[in-house]
Chain A
Amino acid sequence: MKGKNIPQSAACNPKLFSGRGVKIVFKGKKVIVIGERDGVPGPAIANCVTAAGAEVVYTTTECFV
């Protein structure tokens, strides 16, 4: 099951980090995933952010061929 056995350090870490003023923590966030066929596909990103405690609300995988 996705999200099971999530280490506390990853899923519940209250620490925020900043991209110069933009703060993020995955737990409780809703995430729009825009993957790419030749990069990281949408479902793979969705697996990662779900495991980090976020909720995926939209997933797409773009293809530029």
Chain B
Amino acid sequence: MDAEAQENIKRIAENQDGKDNLIVVLGASDLEGAQISAETVTLGDPSFAGPLAGVPLGLPVYHILEPEIRQYIPGEVYSENVGVMAMVIDPAEVGERFKKIREKAEQG
């Protein structure tokens, strides 16, 4: 995640009254890259290069391909915007990976 995005996310999170209402949704096709982005917005920038270095925002993070996310989005809208990627990447695997990411974030 580039420094500009990190700075913007940091500012938004810090300007919220509480973080309970704020979540992050990712769309990366590379699950390793998605994992790094997820770690950046939960535990802090793992490369220690950006504004979120050492800043554990602890935001709940999800991937748009997770089956649990999909159930909340109208089918027509989901198919139109995400449909193709859901055929390329295994949603079940994404779901499992992100459950583990959230578990790790909860443990700090």
A12 to B16, CA, bound (A): 23
The one of A21, A39, A60 that contacts B29, using a Cβ cutoff of 8 Å: A39
* Residue total for B at the interface (Cβ-Cβ under 8 A): 43
B92 within 8 A of A: no
Number of A-B contacts (CB under 8 A): 131
The one of A34, A39, A48 that contacts B77, using a Cβ cutoff of 8 Å: A48
Whether A33 touches B25, Cβ cut-off 8 Å, given contacts A19-B68, A39-B85, is yes
- Does the CB pair B78–A48 fall under 8 Å? yes
State the B residues within 8 Å of A (CB). 1-2, 5, 8-9, 12, 16, 21-30, 33, 37, 41, 59-60, 62, 64-65, 68, 71-74, 77-78, 80-82, 85, 89, 98-99, 102-103, 105-106
19 inter-chain pairs at a CB distance below 8 angstroms, sorted by A residue, are: A20-B99, A20-B103, A22-B60, A24-B62, A31-B22, A32-B59, A36-B28, A39-B27, A45-B25, A47-B77, A48-B64, A48-B78, A48-B82, A51-B73, A51-B74, A52-B72, A58-B12, A62-B1, A64-B30
